[in-house]
Amino acid sequence: MLRKDSADNYTSAIPFDNLPNYVAACKFDSLRGKRIGVPRNVLGAPTDTSTPILEAFEASIAIVKAAGAIIVENTNYTAYQAFRATNSTTVILGADIINNLKKYLDQLVLNPNNVHTLADVSKFTHRFPQEDYPDRITAR
């Protein structure tokens, strides 16, 4: 069951009340003949932390190709460097979270962990075992 929150613009934008069965809709041959571009310039050079992600990405390309898709290599995002220089997505998302977090937390009817600020959320995340801190880094 999906839970929408009118004070959370991300969950309130969910267009349905029950989660669709996406797996049931998947057909292995539904990609046959579809062209899928791979913008290699967006992927960047592998690092110790990104290597497993890039390996999984490459494996997924092989699966999609086996399903009949036509893989078009190096469909590079020509304005990528300019986009990265502005860092606009991170700035917008970060500003939205920071500006609305305290307001959102203050509106909670139940706040069993007594979190009211971004610092409180960070402290809670570091202490809560299910967050897997420090294995799952939260400083980015």
Q: Which residues contact 29 (CB under 8 A, 6 or more apart)?
A: 67, 68
Q: What are phi and psi of 90, to 5 degrees?
A: -65, -40
How far apart, in whole angstroms, are the C-alpha atoms of residue 81 and residue 7? 35
Domain boundaries along the sequence of the chain:
87-140
Peptide bond into 134 cis (omega under 30): yes
Residue-wise pLDDT for 53-85, tens only, equals 888 999 999 999 999 999 999 888 777 777 777
CA–CA distance, 23 with 85 (Å, rounded to integer): 37
Phi-psi category of residue 38: left, alpha or beta, with phi > 0 → left and psi -120 to 50 → alpha: beta
- Per DSSP, which regions of the chain are E strands? 35-38, 70-73
Kindly report the pTM of this predicted structure.
Answer: 0.47
Rounded Cα–Cα distance for residues 7 and 17 (Å): 17
Tens digit of each residue's pLDDT (9 = 90 or more) over 39-56 = 888 887 677 667 888 889
pLDDT above 90 covers a percentage of the chain that reads: 18
Q: Read off the pLDDT of residues 85-140 as tens digits, 9 standing for 90 and up.
A: 765 555 555 556 666 788 888 888 888 888 888 888 888 888 888 877 887 766 65
- Say if residue 9's pLDDT is above 70: yes
